[in-house]
Amino acid sequence: MTLTQTLLLQGLFSCTLQSEIAKIIKGQPDPSFFYKSLLELDVVNIVSIVSFDSKCIAELLHEKNSKYFTPKYPMFYKIEDDAEMDTSLSKDVFFKSAIDIAIYNNQIEGISAILKYIIKY
């Protein structure tokens, strides 16, 4: 991860409003960083992290960014969910995807954008 990407990531995590995150995403001339799975983020991409917000998902999956979609970096896959793990009772590991996160947060427009992406690509 480059210094610029690290600063961008820090900016995303320091936002207090979802609209601020969407502005940062929209303002990037090269959004390919958001689609890569990063070791520093436990092999999770930014699409999965911001899937709780429809505006962010819609911006990331917009047709204008299609040249950055590549099979090298899959957009949707299961990620480990530490929040639901209760190691005192069981050793089970729970997984979720960006779709699960969007459904949990009632992001109908986000789910629609994700499904359109899946159907097209």
Domain positions in the chain are 3-120
Question: What pLDDT score was predicted for residue 85?
Answer: 45
**Residue 91 pLDDT class (50, 70, 90 cuts):** low
- For the residues 110-121, what does the mean pLDDT come to? 88
Handedness of CA 53, 64, 3, 42 (dihedral sign): positive
**Residue 89 pLDDT class (50, 70, 90 cuts):** low
| 3-state SS, residue 85 | coil
Please write the tens of the pLDDT for every residue from 33-81: 888 877 667 778 888 888 888 998 998 898 998 888 888 878 888 887 7
Question: Residue 42 region, left (φ>0) first, then alpha (ψ -120 to 50), else beta?
Answer: left
Q: Are 2 and 36 in contact (CB under 8 A)?
A: no
Question: What pLDDT score was predicted for residue 88?
Answer: 52
Look at residue 23 and tell me whether its pLDDT is greater than 70. yes
Percent of the chain with pLDDT over 70: 88
Which of 115, 119, 86 has the alpha carbon at shortest distance from 103?
115
Whole-number Å distance between alpha carbons of 60 and 47: 7
Whole-number Å distance between alpha carbons of 117 and 121: 6
pTM value > 0.85:
no
